[in-house]
Amino acid sequence: MQIDIRNLSFAYGHKTIINGLSHTINSGDYLVVQGKNGSGKSTLIKCLLGVNSVKNGMIFLDKQDINAFKHWTKFGYVSQNSDGFNYEFPLTVQELLRFSTITKKSESNYLKLLDQMSILEIVNENINSLSGGQLQRVFIVKAMLNDPEVLILDEPTASIDKQNSIFFYKTVDELNKLGKTIILITHTDSLENLNYTHVLDMAIDLTTTISTKEEIEGVDKS
């Protein structure tokens, strides 16, 4: 999918959060969105997912105006703060994934995906008993169930340790190599271990900068 953001501005009430952002995310891109807490990263994601309605500027999804777009299963989304997740009753991983299954494709998919994420053995475990890293992987599987073209991950490694983060980023690389478009949000400045193609930097003063990997590595070397 192509995501074409044209002169997008967004405000909550009178508080402008995004000011005139333009960027095209092409199929197969791996975009890292970075910026300090409160810089508007999650707000941008909610614009891309139609949660925040776009009134200033335009977003085209595969050349269609987002306000008319309907193919939302093309997106897989892991929201921020999934780490605080707790279910009131003892649901197993399998049950959670079954409830999230909305197409025929996803029915057969979840065992394969659990295996791919190296967590097949926890399929019958209570989700409230999982470690942060395991739960994170379950949420990725959930986001991947309907075989999305774009995977959006909002601060996915915030609650897992460094080793699990590295493993996690490797999995993201594999998904990207399989052709998934990746949009990864992070509030740290470290791009270490990330095989991104582009970085969107969101500053607190509302300026935004887009750089390619080549541009960033060129700067690092000088």
Nearer to ligand ADP among residue 150 and residue 202 (C-beta)? 202
Q: How far apart are CA 138 and CA 220, in angstroms?
A: 35
Report the nearest approach of ligand ADP to the CB of residue 202 (Å): 7
Q: How many residues does the chain have?
A: 222
Residues 28 and 181: beta-carbon distance below 8 Å: yes
Q: Is there binding between residue 34 and Mg ion (CB under 5 A)?
A: no
Say if residues 58 and 6 touch (Cβ distance below 8 Å).
Answer: yes
Closer of 79 and 134 to Mg ion (Cβ): 79
Q: What is the residue whose two structure tokens read 């065992």?
A: 111
How many residues of this chain bind Mg ion (CB under 5 A)?
3
Amino acid at 196: Y
Q: Which does residue 40 bind out of Mg ion, ligand ADP, none, counting CB within 5 to 8 angstroms by kind?
A: ligand ADP
Tokens standing for 195? 């095989």
**To the nearest whole angstrom, how small is the minimum distance from the Cβ of residue 90 to ligand ADP?**
32
CB of 16 to Mg ion, least distance (A): 17
Neighbours of 131 (CB within 10 A): 13
Closest approach, Cβ 43 to Mg ion, in A, equals: 8
Which distant-in-sequence residues (6+ apart) come within 8 Å of 93 by Cβ? Answer: 114, 119, 122, 123, 124, 125, 127, 130, 138
Q: Is 120 exposed, middle or buried (0-12, 13-18, 19+ CB in 10 A)?
A: middle
Residue 41 or 180: the one with the smaller Cβ distance to ligand ADP is: 41
Stretch near Mg ion under the rule CB under 5 A, chosen from 26-34, 73-81, 87-95, 108-116: 73-81
**Nearer to Mg ion (CB atom), residue 5 or residue 122:** 5
Q: Alpha-carbon distance 26 to 168, whole Å?
A: 23
**Residue number, 66 or 145, with CB nearest to ligand ADP:** 66
Nearest-approach distance from CB 41 to Mg ion, in angstroms = 5
Q: How far is the CB of 102 from Mg ion (least distance, A)?
A: 26
Residue from the set 5, 10, 29, 42 that interacts with Mg ion by CB under 5 A: 42
Rounded Cα distance between 150 and 30, Å, is: 10
Cβ proximity to ligand ADP: between 43 and 164 the closer is 43
Catalog residues that contact ligand ADP under the rule CB under 6 A: 12, 17, 35, 37-43
Type of residue numbered 49: L
Question: What are the residues binding Mg ion (CB under 5 A)?
Answer: 41-42, 80
